[in-house]
Amino acid sequence: MRSFMQIKIYRAKFIAYAVFVVFIGVTIGALTCAVLLDQWVENSRNEAAGAFSRAENSLRYDADRIEAFMQRVYSNSGLVSDIRSFLGNNAEGYLTSRLQGSHYNRPLVSFPDDIKSFLSNGGKGDITQISLHTEQEGNVVSFDHNGNTSFRFRLPNADETFRETIQQGFVYRKKLSDPNQISRQLGEFRFLVSSDRIFKTAHHDYSDEAAAVSASGDVYLIAGNGRAAEERIRRAVADGRSHGLLTTGFMDRAYYAAFYSSEFDYQFVSIVDVASLIRQKANVLLIVFLIVLTAMISVLLLIVYNLREDANFLRRIINSIGRVKTADFTPVKPARYRRNEYGMIARELDDMIRQLDRHIRTNYLLKLKQQETEIKALQHQINPHFLYNTLEVIRSSALMNSADHTSDAIATLGALYRDIVKNENIISLSSELNLLQQYLKIMEFKYPDRFYYQFHIEPALLALPTVKFWLQPLAENFFIHGFHPESEFNLLIVNGWEEEGGFVLEIVDNGNRISTERLAEIRNKLASGDDAPADSIGLRNVYTRLRFFYGKGFSMTIDNNEEAGVKITVILSKEATNDVQVADRR
């Protein structure tokens, strides 16, 4: 990805593609979530419809049983007689009246027991209270949740027990007529069907709040609690629609569904909170998010792959042009090109570089050979002179020292001479330093305990390509012109470091200084390129060889140290070292 992001046109393309893919992904994800949310709301409505249907079936079942009980009453004269005894009496009056009206040849019928067994399933059904009223008062038979029966007699009709609210339940009113005279009304039955028992299965997982609302506006909460839930139920009823959206805050949304019962005169309302629904379905939404995210990442990776391929071709084209500008015709690994315009241009550029390389090699080979011949001629002027001087050193050492020292000196000289005559003109600076060190070891044989040397070279310089055997003539100048045989401390230091624009080598000694006139003469002759006198042939040859090899990126200065000795500084620019032919590097 980094390869094409560095190219402006592909960076802009990728950003545009990424924004488009993210926009499409977010849109698809939002639409998917909206569809799922709508489906969940629809499921909630279906669940609410099912709960309402179950409540309606229970109420209808209880109404049918009440009708059946009334038919049972009129068909059983004994039951009618017992109901007359129960109507308008207190407990003692009811029992006395029952006994007076009983016959020895007929079983005694009990209205409370009959209604408990037939109508209320042993007192554990939906009907929890039956009352029998006259115009002023009523007697009550109640059944608790364990099926136990309790009685209350002669309660005023305005008593709180007979107040009809949906919190207590639904009241069925049935007139009790005289079987012998239908037009004559004896009293009124009131059957209370408990809301708790009717709506105990009305709550479902999809709703946060559910309630039954009577025609008078009373609210029986099935699910939810508190005034806030009741207030939302009332708002849904007041809205007047069968379903809709309630907004209670900036981020607070709720869907409601309302079902009206014309038969029993109430409404069933179910409310589902959007935030709660989202929390319940968080796993599904997370899966949708991961699927959309995976799709977006896959599309972006496909885009990256295609952009990276084209960007690689464009980068290769740019690199090829840069190589041509810097005359770097080194063969590179052929690229796998696509069959498009970029591939065609890249192939043509590779062919052009190969042809340029062939043309340059053909036209400049003679000139390079000529320079190599001149360098070798300059080098051959130094080698015999150095060999003769070294042999004189060995001869002197043999006269003054034992045979062991002579053997070591000869071994060092042999190793040095083998390196000199090797058929390689371009070596690394590390190898050139090794040659200089071998020469300085030989000088240690000649001047034991009077000569010392030190190398301080940064690792960045060791791999630089250079011509062979140019450091030794600079060191030899020290022994010819600056060395003090009578002194006990003659020092030669070679320093090397990297700077921002190039590399620096220093050869520093503590010997004799050069006079001002002589120093100016040497500088002028090196700058002008005139032939140097015989006593400076080594310095002149070094300067010429390095100038041949590095070109204008090379410079050499000669200065006197402040206290003693001479300092020779060689500076190589990084551009010059990079321009050296790769084929010549070792």
| pLDDT, tens digit (0-9, with 9 covering 90-100), for 461-497 | 999 999 888 998 899 888 888 888 888 889 999 999 9
Question: Closest Cα partner for 494 from 441, 529, 455, 523?
Answer: 455
Cα dihedral across residues 217, 223, 225, 228: positive or negative: negative
d(CA 333, CA 111): 109
Locate 422 and state its tokens.
């090797």
Q: What is the pLDDT of residue 534?
A: 40
d(CA 344, CA 91): 113
Question: Closest Cα partner for 306 from 277, 275, 270, 342?
Answer: 342
Q: How far is CA 470 from CA 7, 404, 432, 507, in A?
A: 46, 30, 8, 12
Q: Specify burial of residue 319 (Cβ count, 10 A radius: 0-12, 13-18, 19+).
A: middle
Cα dihedral across residues 318, 323, 329, 331: positive or negative: negative
CB atoms within 10 A of CB 554: 18
Angle at the Cα of 577 from the Cα atoms of 575 and 580, rounded to 5 degrees: 110
Q: How many residues does the chain have?
A: 586
β-sheet bridge partners, residue 192 = 129, 171
**Is 566:511 a contact under the CB 8 Å cutoff?**
yes
Distance of CA 404 to the CA centre of its chain: 73
For residue 242, the SS3 value is: coil
**Is 517:487 a contact under the CB 8 Å cutoff?**
no
d(CA 49, CA 348): 76
Q: Which residues contact 195 (CB under 8 A, 6 or more apart)?
A: 166, 167, 168, 169, 170, 212, 220
All structural domains of the chain, each given as residue ranges with its CATH number in brackets, are 76-198 (no CATH), 362-584 (3.30.565.10)
Q: What is the pLDDT of residue 339?
A: 63
Question: Closest Cα partner for 564 from 502, 496, 492, 485?
Answer: 492
Residue ranges of the chain whose pLDDT lies below 70: 1-6, 101-107, 120, 122-123, 202-206, 248-251, 327, 329, 331-343, 360-392, 394-408, 410-411, 414-415, 417-423, 529-537, 579-586
Q: What is the pLDDT of residue 246?
A: 85
Q: How far is CA 467 from CA 77, 368, 430, 506, 529, in A?
A: 139, 14, 12, 17, 19
pLDDT tens string 553-585: 899 999 998 888 999 999 999 888 776 644 344
Q: What is the pLDDT of residue 532?
A: 46
